[in-house]
Amino acid sequence: MKQNFLLIVILLWTTTATATETEVIEKYIFNQDQVNLASEIIDKLESNHLVKKDYRAVKSDSFEIFIDRLDPNKNIFTTSEVATVFKDINANSTITNDLEIAFFLFNNYVSRYKQRYKTQINFLDDISENNLKSSRTLIRALSEGERLNTLDELKKLWIDLSINDVIQLMLSGNTIDESVSKTIKRMENQLNYFEQTRNEDVFNIFVNSIASVYGPHTAYMSPKNSEDFDINMSLSLEGIGALLSSDGLYTSISSLVPGGPAEKTESLKPEDKIIGVGQDEKGEIIDVIGWRIDDVVDLIRGPKGSKVRLQIIPSTSINDNETKEIEIIRNVVKLEDQEAERKILSLKRNEKEYKVGVIELPAFYFDFDAYQKRDYNYKSSSKDVKRLLQELKTENIDGLVIDLRNNGGGSLFEANELAHLFLGRGTTVQVKNSNGNIQGLGGRWGYQYFDKPLVVLVNKFSASASEILAGAIQDYDRGLVVGTSTFGKGTVQKVDLLSSGQIKFTESKFYRVSGSSTQNLGVEPDINLPSLFDIKDLGESNLDRALAHDTIPSTSFKNFNRVSNFKELLKQQSLSRVQSSALFDSIEKRKKWQKENELDFLDLNLEVRLQQKTKIEEYLLNNENKLRASLDLPTFETYKEFVEREDDPEVLDVNSEILEEAANILIDLIEIKNKPLLASNFVTQSS
């Protein structure tokens, strides 16, 4: 079978290129141990994953993912080359045959990668300003475009990519010579790292392509990656406290570890793209565009107390020219850095001053080792929150806001315990395992520790255990959920040991007491609040092959009947404040302008791009100055002055503004409940 496959592919390659261009050397080969390990991984997934899939039935999907991971921007393989691969995939073939195809594909990928490198270097050696006056365009999102049909078309694309790289650097203030030099150096660095690819790397890409068919949270971890995973789970990693992801070109911030150095700087945000890494005060910024993610991680890691400098494209940037450099002091992320914190907001309303308690919970943490050792002083989020609630009670707060923004989850046990502080006894969440068994989690006994009005504040990065707590508060009608829709991760993963490395797979699924899964949909807030981000492209539902949302029968639960009758009135009152907020208005206008002026194609003409850049900078400057003028703050003369500004005053802090609005919603609820006639009139008119 292998010989037939090789013959077909070689014939195909030679119809589109010369023999010297397509010489394939099988540098990368697999061994019998990897065959055995791949079989072990497939057996584990077929028997234990929540979603039952026969590998033979999804084999084509595995190869589709494999090709997408090798060539995400569709500038290596042609349409016919990919089609030929799929013609030769046999559902009943052995894993040995599948590995033969995968490794042969990768060796052809290596050949084409080096061909692209030579073509681009040769072009850049002779580039002139005339090449920057093209009337051609380049699709912005190459991964969303169609594959090209011929090698000649690929070569034209490679040239266009090089022109765009040079233009991008010139838009950042470099001369043409500097831009060409930096582009060549970037390509040489990428080739250098690419040539460090090992046989096990190719194997890992392929078996993870198989694992990804089962869902985005299923993955094989090699012994090295397993070690990294264990370090992250124990929170003893010396670094910046950030989880990274890669699209094959850019390394992006996936999430920030609560209490970690990166989060504490408040300069790095989810979805920011890392394009360069420098060490200490004066270390050279190394361009990491196109690097393997583990190599980027190795650059960012370092000893406690040392400094790392990151060059990033902020997630809020309108285009990739808007970059900035941030500094982070590396440190060990400790459990106590994730501790819940409290504060009191004093807000005046109708001559009355309200005291709103706020508990910020970055994660659902639990020191399992200390608990097993029967250490009475073990750390846990529920114990800390209970202590903070007691302190807030002594200060006679009128109500509470639980801030779960950016809380990515943690211990299911802790989410359950926290819910009971506000609900008393009862089921908080239902869990369905891979055998189809459904179990309700919660206490048959318990008492309500905090009974005053409650608001839960969430955003798109509130996930997993956060969604369990918010969903339970909402279903029981115990309090209001405000903010944006949450992430939508409603699954539980398990890690099992293999003969080499580990496999992480989805073993069960969360369901709210109402029977609705949090998967994909997340928790929809009772009252929506503005977001700095356009959240439609974020969340579980945007991950490839995410498990579907579904429902199961509801379980019995108490209806506190605290807020449901007042939601429409509360929405109207909040909307009135949001619409009158200069800061919220400025954010919404910027997002709307960005959407209306979003370009699907990049002009390969420097002059046109300069005009576009000027237009963007003028808009951003004018939008900012209008906001500042409305708040009686100093304005900026130039865009450069705006970009290099010092820290903004608190009045321009979006996060604080959202928290204050959540507190105002809580006060609205308190006042409505204190004025039953107003509430009943509104309910009657609405119905």
Closest CA to 651 of 572, 576, 586, 570: 586
CB-based burial label for 353 (10 Å; 0-12, 13-18, 19+): exposed
pLDDT of residue 5: 41
- For residue 305, pLDDT beyond 90: no
Mean pLDDT of the chain: 87
Average pLDDT over residues 401-422: 92
Confidence of residue 675 (pLDDT cuts 50, 70, 90): confident
pTM of the model: 0.87
Tokens matching residue 17: 């290129």
Provide the pLDDT for residue 676.
62
Please report the pLDDT score of residue 680 as a whole number: 54
> Which of these ranges, 43-47, 161-165, 602-606, 672-676, has the smallest mean pLDDT?
672-676
Phi, then psi, of 416 in degrees rounded to 5: -65, -45
CA of residue 112 relative to chain centroid, distance: 31
Number of H helices, E strands in the chain: 21, 21
Provide the 3-class DSSP secondary structure of residue 162: helix
pLDDT at 446 over 90: no
pLDDT over 60 at 667, yes or no:
yes
If pLDDT is split at 50, 70 and 90, which confidence band does 4 have?
very low
Least confident range from 279-293, 569-583, 585-599, 600-614: namely 279-293
Q: What is the b/e burial string over 533-557, where b = at least 16 CB atoms within 10 angstroms of the residue's CB?
A: beeeebbbbebeebbebeeeeebeb
Angle at 475 between CA 471 and CA 477, to 5 degrees: 120
The stretch 4-27 carries a mean pLDDT of 44
CATH class as words, domain 335-562: alpha beta
Residues 6+ apart with CB under 8 A from 64: 86
From CA 551, how far away is CA 516, in angstroms rounded?
5
Bigger pLDDT: 652 vs 18: 652
Instruction: Supply the DSSP symbol for 254.
Output: E
Q: Is the pLDDT of residue 193 over 70?
A: yes
**At residue 75, what are phi and psi to the nearest 5 degrees?**
-125, 20
Helix runs in 458-497, H state only: 465-475
Q: What pLDDT is stored for residue 351 in this prediction?
A: 86
The three-state secondary structure class of 137 is: strand
pLDDT at 222: 85
Q: Are 105 and 6 in contact (CB under 8 A)?
A: no
In this structure, which CATH number among 3.30.70.980, 2.30.42.10, 3.40.50.1820, 3.40.50.2000 belongs to the domain 236-332? 2.30.42.10
For residue 15, pLDDT over 70 is answered with: no
Q: Which residue has the tokens 């400094």?
A: 307
* Mean pLDDT of the 384-408 span: 96
| Residue 368: per-residue pLDDT | 75
Residue 233: the pLDDT is 40
Q: Would you state the pLDDT for residue 231?
A: 42
When pLDDT is cut at 50, 70 and 90, the band that residue 237 belongs to is very low
Note the pLDDT of residue 626: 95
Average the pLDDT over 68-92 and give the result.
91
Contacts 24+ apart (CB under 8 A), 190-196: 190/289, 190/290, 190/291, 191/114, 191/117, 193/291, 193/292, 193/295, 194/113
Selected residue with higher pLDDT from 22 and 511: 511
pLDDT of the residue at 417:
93
- In the chain, pLDDT over 90 holds for what percent of residues? 60
Using 50, 70 and 90 to split pLDDT, how confident is the model at 265? confident
DSSP letter assigned to residue 565: G
213 pLDDT above the threshold of 70: yes
* Maximum alpha-carbon separation in the chain: 86
Give me the pLDDT at residue 258, please.
Answer: 73
What is the structure's pLDDT at 24?
Answer: 47
State pLDDT tens for residues 466-516. 999 999 999 999 999 999 999 999 998 998 999 999 999 999 999 999 999
Query: Which one is predicted more confidently, 233 or 306?
Result: 306
Band of pLDDT at residue 382, cut at 50, 70 and 90 = very high
Q: Does 587 have pLDDT greater than 50?
A: yes
pLDDT at 684: 44
Instruction: Please check whether residue 80 is in contact with residue 148, taking contact to mean a CB–CB distance below 8 angstroms.
Output: no
* pLDDT in the model for residue 322: 74
What is the structure's pLDDT at 238? 58
pLDDT tens, 315-371? 777 667 678 888 888 887 665 667 899 999 999 998 899 999 999 999 898 877 777
Taking each helix axis from N to C end, the angle separating 381-394 and 412-423, rounded to the nearest 10 degrees, works out to: 30
CA separation for the pair 397, 394 (Å, rounded):
8
Distance separating alpha carbons of residues 255 and 408, to the nearest angstrom: 8
Domain with CATH 2.30.42.10 in the chain: 236-332
Distance CA 513, CA 448 (A): 18
Delimit the CATH 3.90.226.10 region(s) of the chain.
335-562
For residue 362, what are its two tokens?
């970055």
User: 164 and 602 in contact (C-beta within 8 Å)?
Assistant: yes
Quick one: pLDDT band at residue 372, thresholds 50, 70, 90? confident
- Where helices occur in 502-554 by DSSP H, the ranges are none
The token duo for 172 is 């950042």
Mean pLDDT of 285-308: 82
Dist CA 438 CA 231 (whole Å): 32
Which of 166, 163, 176 is closest to 136 using CA atoms?
A: 163
> Between 534 and 450, whose confidence is greater?
450
What's residue 208's pLDDT?
95
Q: Which residues are catalytic?
A: 464, 475, 489
| Residue 446 backbone class (left: φ over 0; alpha: ψ -120 to 50; beta: rest) | left
